Amino acid sequence: MNVYDSERMLEAVSKTHKLVTSPNDADAILINTCHIREKAAEKVYSEIGKFSDLKRKNKKLKVIVAGCVAQAEGNAMLQRQPLIDSIVGPQMYQNLPNILLDESNKRNVLLEFNEREKFSKLGTKRNYASISSFITIQEGCDKFCSFCVVPFTRGAEYSRSVEEVVEEAKSLCKKGCKEIILLGQNVNAYHGAYKNKTQTNLAGLIKELAKIRKLERITYTTSHPRDMNDDLINLHQYNEKLNPYLHLPVQSGSDNILKNMNRKYTSKQYLEIIEKLRKKVPNIAISSDFIVGFPGETKKDFIETLNLVKEIKFAQSYSFKYSRRIGTKANRINCSLTEEEKDERLQELQMILNKQKIQYNKTFEGKEIEVFIRGKGKRDNQYRGTTKWMQSTIFESNKSIESDKVHLKIKSAMDNCLLGELI
């Protein structure tokens, strides 16, 4: 979502400013930030410190902090880091043009939750488009999982209108986009309205988007198991443009921990969703997020997570050590695990998840598949792209590739990607 937000911020200021490749050439430096775990949040301060020489040399240089760290820490950031000129929370990016033009030395702090105005002012016309492009369709969250800062930093759940999303998608497709990744912290809770005020859900929105002729692939992230309704599950079977991929964070396999996390589903309910989906689309790529070392997680709880993983077999995953976040409910629960114990659990989990990823990717060996090219690889004649199962793929070509998509025969499945050969 921060990639999308950064593109939108650049578009918002494009009338007066253009992107430069080095901070040395900049009149303004915009730092977009993430507050989800402690490590990401702390990185911000060391990044800003790097600009002190530039600030000394150029008195007019503006350093602006955007994103969820800005939202969460607000004025305290200005006190901790004097180099910062302004702070802009995630729902206030529409004000960036004014902040950049403001010639007073005022330190602006904009932290309201004004998503309706934000999206209406940012508009639907896009400058940044690539073959696979993001569109935020829903922001914020009302779920209040006990470990998570999102409801505080991104605000209450908000869905953009159907027409707004469709217009933005058309604007991207005019510029060469062929795949749209729909974004939302709770994307499958989407409940957008048409201009005539009737509402639709994510399945309804995807059906509208699928009518855009130039659009070939659609995917969405991140979903919550509680909002995985039958409309959406069925759409995976019937809509050819919808990618056979689902990122559905389970977080833990222990019902006790899931309860304390306030996730409001059991491991059995999660398994049932996956079973239903696999009946419709047998080789669908299932991806998930995991947190190890949540306060009170016993050895037995952790083993239940491992058992769930072994039963489901994930195609992809992201796993994290629990990180205490101020203001969240879980921060009040005592954590008896040491960092070493959490590290050990994380390693054990990741070893199994990595093996599953390779096993899944191995089922593609020998198959011929279409890949959307995302750019050049590390070597001169190398290219990288993605499949519709969202696997990274690498291939070589001595001739330059004119098209933005190719057909590959998959030769082997590596740790992090598929290796293919041009057909």
Q: Which residues bind ligand 5AD (CB under 6 A)?
A: 36-37, 147-148, 249, 251, 289, 291, 320, 322-323, 325
Nearest to 415 by CA among 392, 395, 396: 392
Of 96 and 292, the one with the shorter C-beta distance to ligand SF4 is 292
- For residue 401, the minimal CB distance to ligand SF4 (Å) is 38
Would you count residue 141 as binding ligand SF4 (CB under 6 A)? yes
Q: Which stretch binds ligand SF4 (CB under 6 A): 23-31, 137-145, 305-313, 378-386?
A: 137-145
Of 17 and 329, the one with the shorter C-beta distance to ligand 5AD is 329
Instruction: Provide the sign of the torsion angle of the four alpha carbons 168, 171, 175, 177, taken in this order.
Output: positive
Of 17 and 37, the one with the shorter C-beta distance to ligand 5AD is 37
Of 228 and 369, the one with the shorter C-beta distance to ligand 5AD is 228
Residue 390 tokens read as 């969202």
Helix boundaries (H) for 74-184 = 75-80, 96-101, 115-122, 150-153, 162-174
Residue 179 tokens read as 């795949």
Would you count residue 68 as binding ligand SF4 (CB under 6 A)? no
Residue 74 tokens read as 């607000």
Give the angle 364-398-422 at the CA atoms, nearest 5°.
25
Of 130 and 136, the one with the shorter C-beta distance to ligand 5AD is 136
Of 137 and 394, the one with the shorter C-beta distance to ligand SF4 is 137
Question: Exactly one of 151, 204, 225, 420 binds ligand SF4 (CB under 6 A); which one?
Answer: 151
- For residue 336, the minimal CB distance to ligand 5AD (Å) is 17
Q: Rounded distance, CA 209 to CA 198, Å? A: 17
323 binds, among ligand 5AD, ligand SF4, none (CB under 5 to 8 A by kind): ligand 5AD
Q: How far is CA 249 from CA 30, 164, 263, 274, 275, in A?
A: 31, 28, 10, 12, 15
Of 63 and 248, the one with the shorter C-beta distance to ligand SF4 is 248
238 binds, among ligand SF4, ligand 5AD, none (CB under 5 to 8 A by kind): none
Q: How many CA atoms lie within 13 A of 213 on its CB side?
A: 1
291 binds, among ligand 5AD, ligand SF4, none (CB under 5 to 8 A by kind): ligand 5AD
Residue positions counted in the chain: 423
Q: How far is CA 136 from CA 179, 270, 325, in A?
A: 14, 25, 25
One-letter amino acid at 13 equals V
The DSSP secondary-structure symbol of 154 reads: T
Q: Rounded distance, CA 210 to CA 207, Å? A: 5
Nearest to 9 by CA among 87, 70, 94: 94
Of 8 and 224, the one with the shorter C-beta distance to ligand SF4 is 224
- For residue 347, the minimal CB distance to ligand SF4 (Å) is 23
- For residue 330, the minimal CB distance to ligand 5AD (Å) is 7
Of 89 and 225, the one with the shorter C-beta distance to ligand 5AD is 225
Question: Exactly one of 47, 49, 144, 238 binds ligand SF4 (CB under 6 A); which one?
Answer: 144
Q: Rounded distance, CA 251 to CA 294, Å? A: 10
Number of residues that bind ligand SF4 (CB under 6 A): 10
Segment holding 80, helix H or strand E = helix 75-80
User: What residue number has its CB nearest to ligand 5AD?
Assistant: 289
Using CB under 6 A as the binding rule, the residues of this chain from 164 to 203 that contact ligand SF4 are 185-186
Q: How far is CA 193 from CA 6, 201, 206, in A?
A: 26, 9, 14
186 binds, among ligand SF4, ligand 5AD, none (CB under 5 to 8 A by kind): ligand SF4
Does the N-terminal peptide bond of residue 328 adopt cis geometry, omega within 30 degrees of 0? no
List residues near ligand SF4 by CB under 6 A. 141, 143-145, 148, 150-151, 185-186, 224
